Structures are given as C-alpha cells and as structure tokens.
Amino acid sequence: ALISQASGEAASGGASPRQGMAAWAEQLQRELAGRGLAVASVPGKGRGLVAARSFFPGEVIICQEPYASTPNRISVGSSCDHCFASGNLRKCSVCRVAWYCGSVCQKEEWKLHQLECQAISALTEERKKMLTPTIRLMVKLILRRKLQSEKAIPSSATDNYDLVDALESHISKVDDNQLVLYAQMANLVQLILPSIELDLKEIAHTFSKFACNAHTICDPELRPLGTGLFPAISIINHSCVPNAVLLFEGRTAYVRALQPLSSNTEVSISYIETAATTLKRHNDLKQYFFTCTCPRCIKDSEEDALLEGYRCKDQKCDGFLLPDSGKKAYTCQKCSISRDEEEVKKVSSEILLLSDKASSFLSSGNNSEAGSVYKTIEQLEQKHYHSFSTTLLHTRETLLKVYF
C-alpha cells in the first residue's frame, strides 16, 4: 500500500517531501483517471484503488510492467530475464548471471543490464554466490532509478521511483533480527555498486518494502517464476473475498475483475491462498502487518469447520464437526454424533509427524519414499477429514506433483 501524503518519505529530486509527493500523486491520479480508476482513502485501510467507472467480469482493470524484476533461480537460468520465458535460454557471456531467450529480449534489457553486468563481473566468485534473487532485485531497482534520473530511459506516472519511494515499509514493526539482516543485505548491495552513492538506511527500508509489496510472478499454471515490484498495483488492498484477481503474462501483471464492479467500488485482490481457515489466512497475512476484517474473517465459523476438515464418525453421514468446549469433544452439526477431542488431537499429531517425514524425503530428492508416505497420510485424512478439507486437498495436490 501507499503511505499517506502527510507522512510520506521524501520524494527524489529537489522538491520538498510534501511538494514532491503532491506532484507525483497528481500525475498518478491523472493517469489512473484515464483508465477509469482513482486512488482514494478507504476507511480502516489507508489508501486503496477505487473504480471510477463500471468494469465487467474478466475485464482488465489495470496492467503494469514491473519497476524491477528477477527470476527465482539465477544460477540455473530458469527464466529469461526480460520476458520470463523458459525455453532456449542463453546466459550473458560476460557476467554469466543473466539469461535471455533471444536477442530481442537481450536488447530490451541492455541499458539496464549493461550497468548490472559491469558490477557483477567485478565481483569475486565468492561474492557472486551471495547474489540472491532479492539482492539482484535491489541492484536492478537502484540501476533503473539511476537511468531514469539521467533520462537514459523513460519514466511515466505509473513507472517512476517516486511510486516505489511512497510504498509502505512497516519498518517500525520489523523485528530486530530481520533489521540486522536488512542492514547486512544493504552493505552487500553497496559492495556490488561501489560507484553509486547509496543511503544504506534507505536500502534497508526498501528491502522491508519488498517483503510487503513485491509480487510473485507466476506462469499460467500458477508456478512461481520470479519476483517483481509493481508499485501501481501495490496500491490495491487485500480481501479474503476479492473482487479482482492478479494474473501474469510473461512478467506483465494484469488485474482482472472477478465480478461486475460499479463506480466507487474499491478494487481488491487476495495476497494469499484464500482456500484456508481464518486462522491460517491471518497467519499468512502477518508479513503484511495488518489483520483482515473482511466478511469472511469476521464470521467464518462454519466455513472454517469445513476447511479445517474434521468429518463425522459415521461414514454414511456427510456432516462436519465443530468443537464443543463443554464436552471436550467435536460434535457433528448434522447428526450430533461426537468425536473425542483427544482422538482428534492424536490423529492430527500423527499426520504432522508423517508430513515432516515426507517433506524430508522430498527435500533429499527421494520422491518414491515421499509418495509412499503421502499415500499413508491421504488414507488417514480420508478417514478423519471432511472431503472439503484443505488439508486433504493439499495432500492430494502434493501427490500429483510427486508423481507427475
């Protein structure tokens, strides 16, 4: 999300923080108005993106190229640095870090990669090993800011560093260990870019912005390809009942309407997997430093019971269980048969131990043993969990990945 104008960090350039912020904010509002959108104050959320006209289901609400992006796995060349395609890749012959699917993409990235290539080539082999995707994302962001400030590449109302500067970092809520890590990462960036005068505190703050604003770039099958920073799209707030969805074509982000949107409706997407219980969703949202108060989160007990997944002991009954604290049991909401709380806890513990064992096999590349353990887990879950259980669904999803 964007920070408020009144408390905004200083914008780049010679203008005062308030003047600079107002200038880019006005340009952004004009640009968004042309797309039928506006940035507006949303009660309880700060700022958000609001429809200024009607949108029909499936319509693109907003699209954006990343201000900076990088593939997930640098060393193996999993994706083209420009378009994120995965076929016929060739690495840069100088730095041997960037990969491209062809000369067209290489030329598109050249102004930026020329500077990055020089910086990476000057590193020792030991320091090159420390070049994680997150570090490289920061290096690309700094170099893009430099090129735009020198007018070497164009900028626009939705493609400029002021938008990045205005993103919320939540740095005051970050724990001390993470702050130390951000400081170490900032120092590494300084070693990679010694010719650029950098503010290490600002870089640490920007790493914190990555944590709560960057998006995972996925392929059409939702497999993660890399990470990108899309400042205009970061204005969009979260809901566990979203009215829009974020999708990618290559590295370009598209937000499409999931339902009819009328004028003055806030656009919302989900930052997390929505097929989960309220407790799980809130835990996943901790990295964004807010608690969701959408309709699902306020009153979700029956849906949670289905997603949590405990089923009735009677195999002929399709009812689900809810905890009955007075009896220390789980009671079926359809036939009222109870299941002892200790029995439920015992099964859950057994499944957890087996899951750890299966994960260990997967990590070591032993897919055969992992598949065998996951089959045992599936049998246990079929006996004790409701057919709508996300736990059971995730186990089956993992089995598909193991065998296919």
Task: Please give the full DSSP string across 21-32, using - where no structure is assigned.
Answer: HHHHHHHHHHHH
Tell me what pLDDT residue 5 has: 35
pLDDT, position 237:
94
Q: Phi, psi at residue 325, to the nearest 5°? A: -60, -30
Contact 48, 236 (CB under 8 A): yes
Can you tell me whether residue 147 is helix, strand or coil?
helix
pLDDT at residue 12, as a whole number:
31
Average pLDDT for runs of 10 along the chain of length 404: 40 37 83 96 89 97 97 75 90 92 95 97 91 96 98 95 93 94 97 96 96 92 91 94 94 96 96 81 88 80 61 83 74 84 85 90 87 92 81 84 78
User: Which of 169, 126, 164 lies closest to 142 in space, CA to CA?
Assistant: 164
- pLDDT for 301: 59
Residue (of 332, 315, 335) closest to 324 by Cα position: 332
In the chain, the amino acid numbered 271 is Y
Residue 318: the pLDDT is 82
